[in-house]
Chains A and B, each alone.
Chain A
Amino acid sequence: SQTIHQWPATLVQPVGSPLSLECTVEGTSNPNLYWYRQAAGRGLQLLFYSVGIGQISSEVPQNLSASRPQDRQFILSSKKLLLSDSGFYLCAWKKTGGVDEQYFGPGTRLTVT
């Protein structure tokens, strides 16, 4: 069966510090991968998605970046965090090319102080 992992689970970082959040998927190959942010109030904001190694599409211009160094690894980064980067970050995957459902990770709660 497939599983998705995210870490860390929680993170408190000062303004201006760097960020690295990691997501890995097990039990499948060549998944589509997604990063979402969920600010207070519930809505999901798609940040990045990837259909293959090294292929990243950005949905929202901001000080975040994403990378996919391996087939089942997706990393969200920032060189300098802003207060507005605080939120709940969710990684998700789905099968390539279809209209199947997404599978979400447990999330990372980021607080920028």
Chain B
Amino acid sequence: GNSVTQMEGPVTLSEEAFLTINCTYTATGYPSLFWYVQYPGEGLQLLLKATKADDKGSNKGFEATYRKETTSFHLEKGSVQVSDSAVYFCALSGGTGGSYIPTFGRGTSLIVHP
């Protein structure tokens, strides 16, 4: 079945530092890939997505590129802010077999200090 593996957190950075959160997946075919963000006490929000190989999703300074050859979708941001402190979830949907139940990683907590 499908699976998503994220780096363990928490990730602690100083403001303006470079961020990378690793995400790798297991799925057959060509699933769609997503990053969601969850701020404290809130539901998840879609941050960005990519639907085919080599696509780059981007939003609010965050980027992730769909790498079929390495089955990865790493999240990056060049300069983080305190307001980026949240939990980030990598997820996938679809692929061969057509399962429309999304698969989520366990989440990575990001803490940004002033």
Contacts and interface: CB of A to CB of B under 8 A. Distances in A.
Interface of A: 32, 42-44, 46, 49, 59, 90, 92, 94, 97-107, 109
Q: State the main secondary structure of chain B at its contact with A.
A: strand
| Secondary structure call for the A interface | loop
Interface in B30-84: 31-32, 34, 36, 38, 41-46, 49, 51
Could you say which interface size class chain B belongs to? 20 to 34
Which of A92, A94, A102 neighbours the largest number of chain B CB atoms within 10 Å of its CB?
A102
Interface of B: 31-32, 34, 36, 38, 41-46, 49, 51, 87, 89, 93-94, 100-102, 104, 106-107, 109
A49 B93 CA distance: 14
A49 B106 CA distance: 19
